[in-house]
């Protein structure tokens, strides 16, 4: 099922995997039922041909050809077995996947917002905690607990290859979990209608081998280095004046949390909540006019001069 980033008839982890066989089973039962009933219906209608094509209903005499109750009896008996199996299997599968793991290897706090994903990694000490956005890294083979916090409207957290949907609802914290068998990138998507850009609210879960994950985590804890080139320095000044109204870069004065934390912007593969590749070109386009790429996004068009844009990009590119 490659080529289907959001497909779920296959799985890449324990939790999603527990559901795949059940999904195929109910799918097979459903197709079989449609084929059998469709066949019976088709044959039954085919029998109308005995009258020839254009008979008036009134020309055919009314008679009760048997009571026909056997159809209902046998139909119900035949339906009961798959229903029963489904019921039992459903409860069994539910038991396996519903509960959050007792000792998760990692606990993440995810807060979906219109229309991006804020992700908090918690350390044992305050300096071990950091924020990132739209890209979750997890270690392979480990159970990861995700606490979902509602901030504005309702969103739904969904990584089809790893985990079914769980809503993030204001006023409550919902728990979900996932586990990835192998390293890779798994696409996630908001699955509850949340306004203008519900369509463009994706994210990625990156599963790394535990050692690689640790390296990533340590790198994310670094604050941003002071920019070295003149262009980047000018860019930073402009950033503080303009972008820092909403964005944070740890290690600088920019510390607002209305938008994604950009401390390690360049480490992410995609920008704009999974919508654009993180290249200089698309970054420039996004900074200049997010409303073109994602009409309704809460980030306004910036309308920078060419010089300002180049400087800001030079600065952003230092945020490795």
Give, as ranges, the residues between 213 and 272 that touch other proteins (CB under 8 A).
none
Count of residues engaged in binding other proteins, rule: CB under 8 A: 98
51 or 218: whose CB is closer to other proteins? 51
Do you know the residue count of the chain?
320
Which residues, at least 6 apart from 129, have a Cβ–Cβ distance to it below 8 Å? 120, 121, 122, 123
Give, as ranges, the residues between 180 and 209 that touch other proteins (CB under 8 A).
189-200
b/e 207-230 (16+ beta carbons within 10 angstroms → b):
bbeeeebeebbeebbeebeebeee
47 or 303: whose CB is closer to other proteins? 47
DSSP label of 265: G
Residue among 129, 112, 128 at smallest CA distance from 120: 129
Taking CB under 8 A as the rule, does residue 68 contact other proteins?
yes
Taking CB under 8 A as the rule, does residue 102 contact other proteins?
no
CA distances, 203 to each of 131, 159, 191, 272 (Å): 15, 9, 12, 9
Choose, by CB under 8 A, the member of 101, 104, 107, 152 that binds other proteins: 152
Choose, by CB under 8 A, the member of 128, 170, 210, 300 that binds other proteins: 170
> What x/- string results for residues 29 through 48 when contact with other proteins is judged by CB under 8 A?
xxx-xx--xx-xx--xx-xx
> What x/- string results for residues 266 through 305 when contact with other proteins is judged by CB under 8 A?
---------x-------------------xx---------
Choose, by CB under 8 A, the member of 81, 99, 222, 256 that binds other proteins: 99
Q: Which stretch binds other proteins (CB under 8 A): 90-98, 205-213, 242-250, 307-315?
A: 90-98
Structure tokens at 134: 């739209």
Taking CB under 8 A as the rule, does residue 9 contact other proteins?
yes
- As measured in angstroms, the least distance from the Cβ of 285 to other proteins is 14
Extract the runs of DSSP E, i.e. beta strands, from the chain.
106-113, 116-121, 130-133, 135-139, 144-149, 155-159, 163-168, 173-178, 184-189, 202-208, 270-271, 276-277
Choose, by CB under 8 A, the member of 66, 102, 103, 127 that binds other proteins: 66
51 or 215: whose CB is closer to other proteins? 51
Do residues 261 and 120 make contact, with C-beta atoms less than 8 angstroms apart? Answer: no
Respond yes or no on whether the N-terminal peptide bond of residue 192 is cis (omega within 30° of 0). no
- As measured in angstroms, the least distance from the Cβ of 158 to other proteins is 8
């Amino acid at each position: 099922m490659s080529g289907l980033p959001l497909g779920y008839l296959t799985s890449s982890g324990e939790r999603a995997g527990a559901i795949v066989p059940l999904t195929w089973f109910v799918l097979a039962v459903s197709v079989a039922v449609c084929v059998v009933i469709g066949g019976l219906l088709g044959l039954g209608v085919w029998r109308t041909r005995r009258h020839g094509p254009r008979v008036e209903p009134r020309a055919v005499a009314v008679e009760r050809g048997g009571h026909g109750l056997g159809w209902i009896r046998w139909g119900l008996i035949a339906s009961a077995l798959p229903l029963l199996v489904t019921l039992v299997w459903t409860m069994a599968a539910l038991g396996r996947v519903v509960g959050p793991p007792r000792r998760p290897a990692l606990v993440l706090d995810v807060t979906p917002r219109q229309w991006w994903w804020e992700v908090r990694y918690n350390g044992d000490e305050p300096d071990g905690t950091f924020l990132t956005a739209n890209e979750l890294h997890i270690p392979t083979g480990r159970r990861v607990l995700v606490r979902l916090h509602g901030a504005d409207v309702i969103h739904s957290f969904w990584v089809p290859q790893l985990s079914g949907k769980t809503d993030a609802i204001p006023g409550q914290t919902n728990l979900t979990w996932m586990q990835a068998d192998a390293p890779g990138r798994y696409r996630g998507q908001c699955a509850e209608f949340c306004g203008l850009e519900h369509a463009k609210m994706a994210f990625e879960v990156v599963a790394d081998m535990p050692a690689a994950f640790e390296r990533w985590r340590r790198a994310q804890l670094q604050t941003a280095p002071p920019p070295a080139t003149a262009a980047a320095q000018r860019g930073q000044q402009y950033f503080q004046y303009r972008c820092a109204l909403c964005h944070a870069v740890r290690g600088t004065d920019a510390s607002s949390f209305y938008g994604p934390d950009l401390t390690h912007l360049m480490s992410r593969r995609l920008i704009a909540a999974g919508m654009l590749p993180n290249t200089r070109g698309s970054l420039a386009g996004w900074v200049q006019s997010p409303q073109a790429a994602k009409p309704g996004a809460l980030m306004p068009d910036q309308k920078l001069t060419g010089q300002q844009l180049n400087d800001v990009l030079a600065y952003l590119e230092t945020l490795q």
